[in-house]
Copies of this chain bind each other. A is one copy, B any other.
């Protein structure tokens, strides 16, 4: 805040926006553990032993891992694009708030997965709700990125190859995620795996370190 950007009023630096986003990411990711309920002593007796009662919680443990890695990868991607964003304005704040509304919603479809992965009859519905949320997040990532590009919020010194790579990837995102979402109508488990494969692709560096000249 001490030295606001001189170019135009209404533009501010992104420090507090990033801190707020990090806070929401960190809380949403940490709340996931609340969905794993400790078995009551009576339930443990009923199951035969605590070990068996814990084993029956496998969908909760799997849901925790899926939810944590999903939000974690999205945080890493958000971190990656904000390396190139240098400024912010009032509308950019609100686009990020809507983006965060979808991120902070993720514990709900994750808990739905944990509750219905073991129920063959409703597994598809749970995977579809999860996939639809992730697809909306892909759209929101695009909104954040393109608003920053079009309104000139990127760092003028940002590596152009990296910016073009991100732009190309983001254009494909909603289509690819829609494909993975529809895959759940065929087989829910494959759709779940597809989500991870796609998310992992977005983790690839924008540039191969080996081929890059000293650009900055």
Cβ-defined contact, A18 with B18, below 8 A: no
Query: Which positions 18-40 of chain A face chain B at CB distance < 8 Å?
Result: 18-20, 22-34, 36, 38, 40
Residues of B within 8 A of A108 (CB): 33, 36, 38
Cβ-defined contact, B10 with A16, below 8 A: no
Cβ-defined contact, B97 with A68, below 8 A: yes
Stretch from A114-122, A134-142, A166-174 contacting the other chain: A114-122
Interface positions of A (Cβ within 8 A of B): 1-2, 4, 6, 8-10, 12, 14, 16-20, 22-34, 36, 38, 40-41, 44, 49-51, 54, 64-65, 68-69, 72-73, 75-76, 79-80, 82-83, 86, 89-91, 93-94, 97-98, 100-101, 104-105, 107-108, 111-112, 115-116, 119, 122, 125-126, 129, 159, 162, 203-207, 209, 212, 214-216
